[in-house]
Chain A
Amino acid sequence: MYWIDGIVQGILLGGLYAQYALGMALMFGVMKIVNVTHGDLVILLALIGISLADLTGLGPWSILATLVPIGAAIGWILQRALLNRVVGDDPLPSLIATFGLSIALQNAMLQIWSADTRSLSGGAIQQASIPVGSLYIGVLPLIVLICATVLTAGMAFLMHYTRFGRALRAASADVEAAAMMGVNPRRVYALATAIAVGILGFAAAFQAMRSTVAPSDGPFQLIYAFEAVIIGGLGSIWGAFTGAMILGISQSIGFRINPGFGILAGHLVFLAVLAVRPQGIFKRKS
């Protein structure tokens, strides 16, 4: 039962990681770039949410509803002002530019919010749980998981069945050919980043409710998102979701073996996948 509980808690944790990973899978799938500020943006949105809650007294769900459009706006601006200049064959500029921005952002957050860890009060729901047999499943983690599943399904639908999704896939396959067919790549890229960071609005609210956030936490969220995306297979939306589950389970089982081993277990599973199946679990070898 101890280990089954570990797996269940891991899947619930994976729900949070899936929300980090979804945006990264989208951005890489479309633009072949990694946004190093990905994790810092989760933290930034979470801290904005916490300060908003303190200032206005809004409840956690209203905060979530506010953070998503704020995230989308940040993503749009980020792409328009910065990333559109560095999309290209050479991965170095986008990586270095966002790396520099990440350092600046982390230290700016440190100046504004100090190094304290903070969290968002979620009310009674934070402690509520549902007994299933001898297991207890937290209501909040369950909501996070359901939300992640809906977001992933929504994203998969968007990619495959909408005009915007077709434009995204066309731009990712061949920018120039897509541009000739009337797709405006810069607009498509900006929308993709807006969606990716908008999803981080969900992740930020849930992260702040489930545990705590501090300005220097961003790199960890970035690494978890990255590991989930690679484990699942680059560019695959459901792959990222599955990767997040595998990462969550690995960490949860690891924590039960030894509290110091949890995060490390996730890294080791990631490296093992890289050694055995570098193209990820979902992607076929090209």
Chain B
Amino acid sequence: MSKYQVIRMTLSGRIAWFIFAVALIGIVSMPWWASQGLIRDVVTLACYIAVAQMWNMLAGYGGLVSVGQQAFVGVAAYAMFVLAQTYGVNPYSAVFISLLAPAALAVPIYYLLHRLEGPYFAIGTWVVAEALRLLATNMPMLNGGAGMSLRVMTQFSVHERAIASSLLAALLLLVTLGGSYLVLRSRYGIAMTAMRDNPAAAASQGVNVHRLRFYLFVAAAVGSGFAGAVYFMAQLRITPPSAFGMNWANLAIFIVMVGGIGSLEGVLIGAVIFFFAERWFGEYGASYLIVLGLMTLACALYFRGGLWGFYSRHFNAPWFPTRRHLVRNKGVVK
């Protein structure tokens, strides 16, 4: 037994993993106990969490602030609609095949935009998303601005669709949250944390910052695309303004900034707040968005760590611990 040991898991982390596993099982079993409305809500919330977490990885770790993730949400969703509705591919296979589209698109976009400095990179991603929205609006194959309906879904019964939606939502959370967690705990996580804190210093320690950012960008594109395909499959309808809408960027940025940037826990907290704000106050018009916008502003100015930052200043009980603690073993005698 060595003198020191690295502690990577905490009690709170184990409890959180247990709750996460129970929640996933709960989501998968929804068709047998939950109402249609609840399943729909859970799918929506899962998509919000996934898109926000992908933005969190980009901005919180990669230093790549994008306001154009809706480009990938829309492209994957449209690819799924075309495959399933136009070419008759099984819709559930189409969800996975459609993920090739955001991956293929992310490569040239990254190579075009990585030349732009920080804030200009962000607006550049916005231009790309706008260009794609206009392209979709003008493509007869996508039925232009009128959008498409996923009529092929009528071949499945309501119960079958509920099972598939629940499975997809659980898988989406597993891949985006669980996947991020595993990556952050691996050696890439150390490299990414180093890159977040200081890219130049990370590069001098042997981290290939450029390549790591590229991987992050592509992975985030695929993750966001997955959320898009799942979300619009549940919606059964897609239009260019909904698929490529700014709302995706708004919600990702709000969730991450208010919840706490650079943490998985923050994304969960922020997503729940956003979801319920939209649900409860959305019916009174758009004024709740004024409040959400000002909250984002306040977090950027005064509470850089968001709600999770506030929590972790007072309690050392992370739900998804990614830190390494070096502890001296008491029992070892020299």
Please give the residue numbers on chain A whose beta carbons come within 8 Å of chain B beta carbons, in ascending order: 28, 32-34, 36, 82, 85-86, 90-108, 110-111, 219, 222-223, 226-227, 230, 234, 258, 260-261, 263-264, 267-268, 270-271, 274-275, 278
Residue of A104, A230, A260 near B116 (CB, 8 A) is A230
B123 A222 Cβ-Cβ under 8 A = yes
The distance from the CB of B182 to the nearest CB of chain A, in whole angstroms, is 25
- For this complex, 16 residue pairs linking A to B, each with C-beta atoms less than 8 Å apart, are A90-B118, A92-B59, A92-B300, A95-B119, A96-B65, A99-B67, A100-B254, A107-B289, A111-B290, A260-B137, A261-B138, A264-B135, A267-B131, A274-B116, A274-B124, A275-B112
> Interface size for chain B: under 10, 10 to 19, 20 to 34, or 35 or more residues?
35 or more
Residue of B123, B253, B298 near A223 (CB, 8 A) is B123
Q: Mark B222-257, 1 if CB is under 8 A from A, else 0.
A: 000000000000000000000000100010011001
Question: Which residues B114-156 have CB closer than 8 A to chain A?
Answer: 115-120, 122-124, 126-128, 130-131, 134-135, 137-138
Residue of A92, A99, A274 near B296 (CB, 8 A) is A99
Docked CA distance A13–B67 (Å): 27
Residue of A34, A92, A111 near B123 (CB, 8 A) is A34
Given contacts A82-B301, A104-B293, contact A111 B126 (CB under 8 A): no
B167 at the interface (CB under 8 A from A): no
A34 B119 Cβ-Cβ under 8 A = yes
Note all chain B residues with C-beta closer than 8 A to A104.
289-294, 297
Q: Count chain B CB atoms within 10 A of each CB in A85, A97, A110, A261 and give the residue with the most.
A: A97
Docked CA distance A108–B293 (Å): 10
Residue of B63, B130, B253 near A96 (CB, 8 A) is B253
Residue of A32, A34, A102, A258 near B122 (CB, 8 A) is A34
Note all chain A residues with C-beta closer than 8 A to B67.
36, 99
Docked CA distance A99–B287 (Å): 16
B127 A270 Cβ-Cβ under 8 A = yes
Q: List 14 additional contacts besides A28-B120, A100-B254, A100-B299; criterion CB under 8 Å.
A: A34-B123, A86-B301, A91-B119, A96-B253, A100-B300, A103-B292, A104-B289, A226-B127, A260-B134, A261-B138, A263-B130, A271-B128, A275-B112, A278-B116
Note all chain B residues with C-beta closer than 8 A to A278.
115-116
B118 A97 Cβ-Cβ under 8 A = no
Given contacts A103-B293, A107-B293, contact A274 B115 (CB under 8 A): yes
Given contacts A34-B122, A96-B257, contact A223 B127 (CB under 8 A): yes
Docked CA distance A283–B177 (Å): 43
B293 A100 Cβ-Cβ under 8 A = yes
A274 B112 Cβ-Cβ under 8 A = yes
Please give the residue numbers on chain B whose beta carbons come within 8 Å of chain A beta carbons, in ascending order: 59, 63, 65, 67, 112-113, 115-120, 122-124, 126-128, 130-131, 134-135, 137-138, 246, 250, 253-254, 257, 285-287, 289-301, 304
B130 A267 Cβ-Cβ under 8 A = yes
Across the interface, name the chain B residue whose C-beta is closest to A110. B286
Across the interface, name the chain A residue whose C-beta is closest to B286. A107
B293 A102 Cβ-Cβ under 8 A = yes
Across the interface, name the chain B residue whose C-beta is closest to A225. B123
Note all chain B residues with C-beta closer than 8 A to A270.
127
B301 A85 Cβ-Cβ under 8 A = yes
B119 A93 Cβ-Cβ under 8 A = no
Across the interface, name the chain A residue whose C-beta is closest to B112. A274
Across the interface, name the chain B residue whose C-beta is closest to A220. B130
Docked CA distance A263–B137 (Å): 12
Residue of A33, A267, A275 near B134 (CB, 8 A) is A267
Residue of B65, B286, B297 near A111 (CB, 8 A) is B286
A92 B65 Cβ-Cβ under 8 A = yes
B296 A100 Cβ-Cβ under 8 A = yes
Note all chain A residues with C-beta closer than 8 A to B293.
100-107
Across the interface, name the chain B residue whose C-beta is closest to A224. B127
Residue of B119, B257, B290, B304 near A107 (CB, 8 A) is B290
Note all chain B residues with C-beta closer than 8 A to A96.
65, 253, 257, 296-297, 299-300
The distance from the CB of B306 to the nearest CB of chain A, in whole angstroms, is 11
Note all chain B residues with C-beta closer than 8 A to A108.
290
The distance from the CB of B66 to the nearest CB of chain A, in whole angstroms, is 10
Note all chain A residues with C-beta closer than 8 A to B300.
86, 92-94, 96-97, 100
**CB-CB nearest 5 A-B residue pairs:** A91-B118, A100-B296, A104-B293, A103-B293, A100-B297
